[in-house]
Amino acid sequence: MHLVFLSVFLAFFVKINEGADWCYQSQFTCESHCKAPDHWSEAEHSQSCAGKSQSPINIVTKRTLPDERLTPFKFTGYQDTFHSYIKNNGHSVQVAVPHLATISGGDLKMPYKAVQFHLHWGTDGGPGSEHTVDGEQYPMELHIVHMKQSYTTLSSALQDPNGVAVLGFFYEESASVNRKYEPLINALRKIKTSGANTTINGLSLNALLPSPKNMTSYYRYKGSLTTPGCTEAVVWTVFEHAIPLSRDQLRAFSELQFHDGKKMVGTFRPVQPLNGRQVYRSAGSVALASGILLAISVAAAFGLSRPN
């Protein structure tokens, strides 16, 4: 009899552990029983986390290939202001975007519409981006999640190997405050606890992004969502130019809390193996531009040394 109770208890306990939520490395403790990044593939519906085309990655710039099809994006509706919710979802801060803003060009096969954006960050403004460039980790990374215009839900788009397009932007610390970010950063104070949300008004996607001129340089590869289920359905675009935020603005994100009440910090997945994938770069990227500069300076040097 006792044995039966014991085994029922054990089964229950094991079940709870199986259902334990996924977490970032920063949250993991021996008592937490949460699944840290190395164990995400054991979480429910997350076998893909052990797949061969995972994100994020470290971008090795000298191994990227220029691709002239990677033209500047056309942003539609990005300048429109909207009213929405900003939410602490227990893993990040997320803003729902009305499905009206779209991107096209940039070798996308059809327009993709914006669904939501969220961020990944470190501790008090320290390293925290998901993608890294030549091993450098930026303090924060913005992900604007889009799905093919023909879909109505993200879960249906995720069934399509090219169903989702994410635009990734890095942040860098600047001496001055980025005023365009004040509405977003002020809203953080109201959503400290996990599950909390508040309205956010008068926001446009454009206001969060670099100027169009500074968005012509980017990297492209095929990857996955960077949180469980890690679905391999994402056309990734990672922009080279970082968005400036002051130290205090970056630190404001570390005031949020995970559901256990601990500081929400280190909300990034470690970089994943490329497994033979090729990373491409747009024609406007610095790697290429510096090549042109080199050619110009070589030409100039020849010009200078040519007798008369």
Ligand X SMILES: *[C@@H]1O[C@H](CO)[C@@H](O)[C@H](O)[C@H]1NC(C)=O
Active-site residues: which are they? 91
Query: What distances in angstroms separate CA 77 from CA 81, 83, 177, 205, 286, one per listed residue?
Result: 9, 14, 26, 8, 28
Instruction: Find, among 171, 205, 233, the residue nearest to 97 by Cα.
Output: 205
* Amino acid at the residue 290: S
| # residues contacting Zn ion (CB under 5 A) | 2
Q: Does a cis peptide bond (omega within 30 degrees of 0) precede residue 56?
A: yes
Could you say whether residue 143 binds Zn ion (CB under 5 A)?
yes
Q: Which two tokens stand for residue 267?
A: 């909300």
Shortest distance in whole angstroms from residue 89 CB to ligand X: 8
Which is nearer to ligand X, 28 or 85 (by Cβ)? 85
Could you say whether residue 210 binds ligand X (CB under 6 A)?
yes
- State the Cα–Cα distance between residues 49 and 229, nearest whole angstrom: 6
The residue range among 18-26, 106-114, 172-180, 226-234 that interacts with Zn ion, by the rule CB under 5 A, is 226-234
The residue range among 59-67, 99-107, 207-215, 277-285 that interacts with ligand X, by the rule CB under 6 A, is 207-215
Could you say whether residue 91 binds ligand X (CB under 6 A)?
no
- The residue from 153, 176, 211, 305 that contacts ligand X (CB under 6 A) is 211
Q: Give the distance from CA 223 to its chain's centroid.
A: 12
- The residue from 85, 90, 124, 288 that contacts ligand X (CB under 6 A) is 85
Could you say whether residue 197 binds ligand X (CB under 6 A)?
yes
Give the 3-state secondary structure of residue 297: helix
- State the Cα–Cα distance between residues 55 and 221, nearest whole angstrom: 10
Instruction: Find, among 204, 166, 180, the residue nearest to 76 by Cα.
Output: 204
Shortest distance in whole angstroms from residue 292 CB to ligand X: 17
Could you say whether residue 269 binds Zn ion (CB under 5 A)?
no
Contact set with Zn ion (CB under 5 A)? 143, 226
Contact set with ligand X (CB under 6 A)? 85, 87, 197, 210-211, 214, 241
